[in-house]
Amino acid sequence: MSPYYLSTMEKLKIAIQKSGRLYDDSVKLLKDCGIDLKNGVNKLKAECDNFPMEIYFLRDDDIPQYVEDAVADIGIVGENVLYEKNKKAVIVEQLGFGKCRLSVAVGRNESYEGVEYLRGKRIATSYPVLVQQYLDKHGVPAEIQEISGSVEIAPGIGLADVIVDLVSSGSTLFMNGLKEVETVLRSQAVLVRNEQLGAEQQRLLEKFLFRIRAVKKARNNKYVLLNAPNDKLSEIVGMLPGMKSPTVLPLAEAGWSSVHSVISENDFWDIIEKLKGAGAQGILVVPIEKMII
């Protein structure tokens, strides 16, 4: 498809982070979906040569607003930001990356026995809306101190008694003498759309979602090839789920067959151990680039 033809078509406008936690994974997802984006240094908009799409590079906090206002048709944003900003954007797909949790953390030596501990405490956070909703839900009044960065140092400098912040590994909390005690929200990157998406934009979104789902399926599955003795073939085939059923081909060596299947990442090691125990040999595991079912 020529660049001129693409330039005259309606385009799907997508907003992603210009830097930060979700940027690399968002760009990788687009590339894995076969979308060729050309983004120069400090460029805030990119055109795509091989898909009718424009990409806007924005601050993560601004993405929900841009989608609500239809400046962007769709966006990739963390659930934590979406819910904190409380904008009218519809989640259409969870993307499986950028996973984290918004958690309550207290001093490492504090004796924490439940949410009631927070009553009357000063809580430092960058997510005052979500924290207030959490406190209201549990009927616990507390004072919220909104700060924009370095939340974890607040107790150490006397600004707050407790913090509520994003946690991935927990190492930052540990280094600042804190421990995680409650989870307010589990979050990951999501694809959101404007509530009033036009017919052509909806059609393009469906094409984009088809690609995203194929990429996600591929990430969550492995292609497995193995050699099986024919006297164990039924037992081995019975262990393999496959998309429909495993493929079985005779080998040149009499009494042996080659078995091909797809295994979910979640079940992978358990099934491989069972296959090995049942007599499978020469097990080869291959990553899948795309998976269409």
Decide which of 3.30.70.120, 3.50.50.60, 3.90.930.12, 3.30.300.30 is the CATH code for 221-287: 3.30.70.120
Mean pLDDT along residues 211-224 = 92
Which pLDDT band holds residue 43 (cuts at 50, 70, 90)? confident
Q: Using an 8 Å Cβ cutoff, are 113 and 92 in contact? A: no
220-250 pLDDT, tens digit each: 889 999 999 999 999 999 988 756 778 999 9
Q: So what's the pLDDT on residue 5?
A: 43
- Give 254: exposed, middle or buried? Use CB within 10 Å, 0-12, 13-18, 19+: exposed
Q: So what's the pLDDT on residue 4?
A: 41
% of the chain residues with pLDDT over 90: 76
Mean pLDDT along residues 36-44 = 72
Q: Using an 8 Å Cβ cutoff, are 288 and 262 in contact? A: yes
For the whole model, what pTM was predicted? Answer: 0.84
Locate 35 and state its tokens: 């979308």
Mean pLDDT along residues 245-271 = 91
pLDDT, the chain, mean: 91
Amino acid identity of residue 271, one-letter, is I
42-46, 212-216, 220-224: segment of lowest average pLDDT = 42-46
Write down the domain spans for the chain. 3-97+189-218, 100-187, 221-287
Alpha carbon distance, N-terminus to C-terminus of the chain? 26
96-136 pLDDT, tens digit each: 999 999 999 999 999 999 999 999 999 999 999 999 999 99
| pLDDT score of 291 more than 90 | no
DSSP per-residue letters across 80-142: HHHHHHT-SEEEEEE-S-S-EEEEEEEETT----SGGGGTT-EEEES-HHHHHHHHHHHT---
Q: So what's the pLDDT on residue 268?
A: 87
48-65 pLDDT, tens digit each: 888 999 999 999 999 999
Residue 271: which residues within 8 A CB-CB, separation 6 or more? 239, 240, 263
Decide which of 3.90.800.10, 3.40.190.10, 3.40.50.2300, 1.25.50.10 is the CATH code for 100-187: 3.40.190.10
* Nearest Cα residue to 16 out of 5, 30, 6: 30
Check for a shared fold between 3-97+189-218 and 100-187.
yes
Locate 197 and state its tokens: 């998406």
Q: So what's the pLDDT on residue 38?
A: 74
Regarding the domain delimited by 3-97+189-218, which CATH topology (the fold level of the hierarchy) does it fall under? D-Maltodextrin-Binding Protein; domain 2 (3.40.190)
